[in-house]
Structure 1
Amino acid sequence: MIGDYIIINLFFFVGKLYFFEFNDRDYAQDFKAHFILLNISWLVITIITKPYKSLTINESSLHFNALTKSFILLIITSLVYLNLIFSVEIDYRNMIVYFLLVGFFMTLTRFLLFLFRKKIRFKLGQKSLYFNTVLVGENSLATSLLSNQNLRRLMGIRGSYTQDTTETKNKYLGGIDQLFDDLENTKISSIIFCDDNIDVELYKKIVDVAEHKMIRIYMVPGFKYVNLGPYYLDVIHEVPFLKLLREPLSNPKKQILKRSFDVGFSLFVMIFLLSWLIPVIALIIKLESNTSVFFLQKRSGLNNETFNCIKFRSMAVNKNADLETASKNDPRVTKFGAFMRKTSIDELPQFINVFLGEMSIVGPRPHMVSQTEMYSKITKKYMTRHIVKPGITGWAQVMGSRGEIFSHQDMERRIEKDIWYIQNWSFFLDIKIIFLTLYNILKGDEQAY
């Protein structure tokens, strides 16, 4: 889309291929109006013909069909408004040259784009990790998915595992024992259940292992175990599936919206708040304890990858910093540190983590690596919280599950709230959580220490 607008305006403005004869008196007014109408016309036309939407379709002829319609409509529209709106003589020579050049370069950029896309897909297709979706069992849909090369490539389907040991002709990967081995040793991002003959206990065992590994679970419509829990309809490349966990943030447009907000908000905080607050906090910390201003701690992030979570130092240097969370009246907390923790000022440097893409403003709070290692073994669905970026604040925090963990039940309640957030995410929910966070800070939170 950006390329098309560059091409449309480049030849008109830089190439001076104007569609009219002009004199010095009329030039400025007619040129500006024509320039605006040309761009608005292309915008309206492409909204109707949708040439950019069809870029996601593998069949390139559909895209060129939409582009041809758009281009013809642009020529007709230009002729109409030049004759009806402008009282000028049309320079048909310039007009013909302009549209020939624009049409040629629009087509050329498409060919280059499709060739590049084909090359990238081929390269990715050579890497086994690219095909990270697997099927469990066989039925008519599984056979269709595996035999359709385009669909198989688009969905990244590696092959299928079956309960019996009889090797099938359609990308057979092994039996169920091989599946469990591959879940531990190879990269699998999604599992699609296709076989109704699978035993319920085996199904539950696969699901438990998959959830621990942050693997998405899908089922074909009509799968007999869908009544064991909630499920949600998901359409992938026009093929309907039932999904065990609803994920609004799996939508690329929603990911862009959330990331754009994160970048804009964090940039604002860094420029207008942290730029002067860091020197002030640094001076106070140095005067009080003469230690480092920032405390970097390894935390579990997206897909359980560790990152350095940045905080203002609120505790004296101690060997248990990465093993023990803060408790009430913790002797490790400094006087100024207690104030920062009470007001959540110590968390503000995490906007740098947000800007770097390691965190989001709103999401499940990142836990220490030691906590992740411990609770992932004893808390069901614990690892599910890592399928989204961790946040500075989150639904669990504003709903009373902040601070020290006293029992296993406390962690379970926090995980329930984190998963609820993942399943019910919306932009306005993030805004609500931000306002609730500010409200809790202003009124004072008994669990902030």
Structure 2
Amino acid sequence: MTASQTGRYSKYIRPISISIDLIVILILGFFFFKDLNFNIERFLVYQSFGWITVAFFIRFYEIYRFTTPLEIISKIVKQGVIFLLITIAFFPFSKQVVFSRLMVAMFIFSVMLLITISKFLLFYYLKEYRIITGSNYRNAVIIGYTPEAIALKNLFETRSDYGYRFLGYFSDKKSNQNITGKLVDLKPFVIENSVDEIYCSLNEISNENLKDLIDFADENYKKIKFIPDTKEIFSKNLKIDYYEFFPVLSLKKTMLHEPATMIFKRVFDIVFSISIITVLLSWLIPLLAILIKLESRGPVFFKQGRPGIDENEFLCYKFRSMKINKTTEKEASKNDPRVTKIGRFMRKTSLDEMPQFLNVLLGDMSVVGPRPHLWAQNKVYGNKVKKYMVRHCVKPGITGLAQVNGFRGEIQTEDDMINRIKFDVFYIENWSLILDLKIIFQTVINIFKGEEKAY
């Protein structure tokens, strides 16, 4: 089973921009400093890590279709100054090489010049690309028919380089030929017309409807933004952007969606999974393969399609812990007759999940994240449990916050799933490296201590 998705190349723009910048730093770093008597590889790794770290804190790669050139220049200056200080800071700790002001100055100047050129070329190329080809547009609707809503619609139409296609107003308070429909018509319209962003006038919608709209946007991967026609800021999770002089509020992204965090988490996943594969799986796979084969006929590994990030299907690997059967979409229950003796041991110790480190290495999963559910569970709970689909905005994990808090294994009541989703959403909204390490540590403790629902 697969989920139908609509995609654009926009999600690749930041990774491409980051990759270009790092390639520039590595090539110029090697060119300027290759003849010096010191470890050039260590220096280049230091430079790359320093660049990404600075970019993370000053939000260097947070450039959108409505960002002004002045804002881009401001980011470039900040990034360049701090990166210069980081470069200089390397040399006092390297006793093998004498610090050269001229060489460092030429290196920084060359790096920032090329990065500035590439950034503006990409920025203006995308604007012209939208205008000429009509591609990479985002479909937008507006809730409300206020002067602010009308002004925003006019801005969309006059600034085609922003890349928005306005599809209609929705309002319960106004009724004229310009109104596409009422609020009750919004949800089906959004789905049927592949709307990407919903702009909402705050005085046009009740708190109850607003909460419902936010849940709808979360579950259907739609962005919701707010037109501030009131001075009251009612949420700490709002940020303000300016389309020229027009202010627009939107919900902040989580840390897990920041480019630097995504890169850091991916590097952590690769290093951690390679360590586990090398140290444990290299001898554990042959040993368990023999035990599995001795007890029952069938393959050593069990492969099953599971919904991953953006609900895209991937093959999840496990050691086979059951006899061959035709009920793989049915989750295991206590004293399940399908489970073999060695399978019961593997499930109790979570050894059956170990091959998923191969999924981590392949990029389908993360070490820590919401556990990948069965497609059957998605069908049952996707529209029943609030924020259920939010868990698909990040990669699934081998272990997660819900699992270390006891919400793993068989779903006996709807409350079991509700509590699991609460922990998954909390993890996504409050991610930190410390939280990941705590979850990993607690997972190891639970393996040795044993868990009631590990069957």
| TM-score, structure 1 as length reference | 0.72
> Could you tell me how far apart the structure 2 residues matched to 1:317 and 1:186 are?
44
> Could you tell me how far apart the structure 1 residues matched to 2:311 and 2:395 are?
10
What SS is found at the alignment partner of 2:317? strand
> Could you tell me how far apart the structure 2 residues matched to 1:200 and 1:307 are?
38
Kindly indicate whether residue 238 of structure 2 is the aligned counterpart of residue 233 of structure 1. Answer: yes
Structure 1 stretches of 5 or more lacking a match?
A: 15-27, 79-89
By how many angstroms is 1:104 displaced?
8.1
Structure of higher RCO (CA pairs closer than 8 Å, 6+ residues apart): 2
> Could you tell me how far apart the structure 1 residues matched to 2:432 and 2:27 are?
34
By how many angstroms is 1:248 displaced?
2.8
What SS is found at the alignment partner of 1:403? coil
* 2:289 aligned residue (269, 282, 288): 282
Distance 1:4 1:369, change over 3 A: closer
Q: Which residue does 1:260 correspond to in 2?
A: 267
Q: Which residue does 2:221 correspond to in 1?
A: 214
| Deviations, residues 20-40 of structure 1 (Å, cap 9, x unaligned) | xxxxxxxx88x99xxx9xx99
By how many angstroms is 1:337 displaced?
0.4
> Could you tell me how far apart the structure 2 residues matched to 1:412 and 1:225 are?
32
The 5-angstrom pairing of residues 47-446 of structure 1 reads 53=60, 56=63, 58-59=68-69, 63=73, 107=113, 110-111=116-117, 113-123=119-129, 126=133, 130-132=137-139, 134-139=141-146, 141-143=148-150, 145-148=152-155, 158=166, 160-163=168-171, 164=174, 166=176, 176=183, 179-198=186-205, 203=210, 206-221=213-228, 232-236=237-241, 241=249, 243=251, 247-322=254-329, 324-446=330-452
By how many angstroms is 1:284 displaced?
1.8
> Could you tell me how far apart the structure 2 residues matched to 1:259 and 1:220 are?
35
What SS is found at the alignment partner of 2:332? coil
| Deviations, residues 119-159 of structure 1 (Å, cap 9, x unaligned) | 34444664666415543224455455545569886686755
* 2:31 aligned residue (4, 7, 10): 10
What SS is found at the alignment partner of 1:308? strand
Distance 1:276 1:187, change over 3 A: farther
Distance 1:258 1:145, change over 3 A: farther
By how many angstroms is 1:10 displaced?
2.4
Distance 1:110 1:202, change over 3 A: closer
> Could you tell me how far apart the structure 2 residues matched to 1:349 and 1:412 are?
28
Q: State whether residues 231 and 246 of structure 1, in contact with CA within 8 Å, keep that contact through their aligned partners in structure 2.
A: no
By how many angstroms is 1:407 displaced?
1.1
Q: State whether residues 202 and 229 of structure 2, in contact with CA within 8 Å, keep that contact through their aligned partners in structure 1.
A: no
By how many angstroms is 1:446 displaced?
1.1
- For the pair shown, the structure with the greater C-alpha radius of gyration is 1
Letter in 2 for 1:380: K
> Could you tell me how far apart the structure 1 residues matched to 2:396 and 2:62 are?
32
> Could you tell me how far apart the structure 2 residues matched to 1:302 and 1:363 are?
11
Q: Which moved more, 1:251-260 or 1:303-312?
A: 251-260
> Could you tell me how far apart the structure 2 residues matched to 1:61 and 1:225 are?
27
What SS is found at the alignment partner of 1:241? strand
By how many angstroms is 1:348 displaced?
0.9
Q: Which residue does 2:13 correspond to in 1?
A: none
What SS is found at the alignment partner of 2:318? strand
Q: Which moved more, 1:304-313 or 1:189-198?
A: 189-198
By how many angstroms is 1:235 displaced?
4.0
| Deviations, residues 182-201 of structure 1 (Å, cap 9, x unaligned) | 32234344433224123566
What SS is found at the alignment partner of 2:302? strand
**Aligned-residue CA RMSD (Å):** 4.6
Letter in 2 for 1:10: F
What SS is found at the alignment partner of 2:411? coil
Q: State whether residues 138 and 160 of structure 1, in contact with CA within 8 Å, keep that contact through their aligned partners in structure 2.
A: no
What SS is found at the alignment partner of 1:181? helix
Q: State whether residues 127 and 163 of structure 2, in contact with CA within 8 Å, keep that contact through their aligned partners in structure 1.
A: no
Distance 1:319 1:145, change over 3 A: same
Q: State whether residues 137 and 160 of structure 1, in contact with CA within 8 Å, keep that contact through their aligned partners in structure 2.
A: no
| TM-score, structure 2 as length reference | 0.71
Letter in 1 for 2:354: L
What SS is found at the alignment partner of 1:254? helix
Distance 1:139 1:12, change over 3 A: same
| Deviations, residues 393-439 of structure 1 (Å, cap 9, x unaligned) | 11111111111111112211212222222222212111111111111
What SS is found at the alignment partner of 2:306? strand
Letter in 1 for 2:27: I
Q: Which moved more, 1:150-159 or 1:129-138?
A: 150-159
Q: State whether residues 132 and 156 of structure 1, in contact with CA within 8 Å, keep that contact through their aligned partners in structure 2.
A: yes
Distance 1:111 1:217, change over 3 A: closer
What SS is found at the alignment partner of 2:203? coil
> Could you tell me how far apart the structure 1 residues matched to 2:286 and 2:159 are?
55
Letter in 2 for 1:331: P
Letter in 2 for 1:63: I
